[in-house]
Chain A
């Protein structure tokens, strides 16, 4: 998704190494995608349309 838009940055975070950050966002299962510092959340590997919908919810919030 980052490849398609200059607005998007995507970071894969190793949850164990960055445990404090995982706890901050309440990550208990993986993959867990946090959008804009917690404005949106997607738990599990979901179809791209679901993630896109969450992104749009997060940016309008």
Chain B
């Protein structure tokens, strides 16, 4: 199969990753029905995780792995969860994507991987305090387009 990322892009990503400090587990959720971008998204993720030893990918199907999808609150395909990993322990941080991360959103994917690996949100101290003080669930859905 033809690669989606050329050598130039791969070396740029490798540079951006530097030495990723902590392991990251990427979970992919596909669907065999009504999913135009599932195959491309899966291939893209396979190529990205191959760039660093700190990254691993697990592949799930929305239907046959419905319990896993529910556990990670994934209801759209392609769905991507970017989770922290310590040994065999996967910690869901609530960071996910729905749809193919191409164009601008490819940068967001790379940035998310770097943030989760660093276990550091990069937010200012005041925002962090306010977030930690939240007592009710918050769902943020950021709508984006690839161009």
A interface residues (Cβ-Cβ under 8 A, vs B): 1-18, 21-22, 25, 27, 30-37, 48-49, 52, 55-56, 58-59
- B134 to chain A: which residues have CB within 8 Å? 5, 7-8, 55, 59
- A34 to chain B: which residues have CB within 8 Å? 140-141, 143
Name A38's closest neighbour in chain B (CB-CB).
B141
**B137 close to A (CB within 8 Å):** yes
Chief secondary structure at chain A's binding surface: mixed
Partner of B139, one of A9, A14, A17, A30: A9
- A22 to chain B: which residues have CB within 8 Å? 143
When chains A and B are docked, how far (Å) is the Cα of A4 from the Cα of B127? 9
- B76 to chain A: which residues have CB within 8 Å? 13, 18
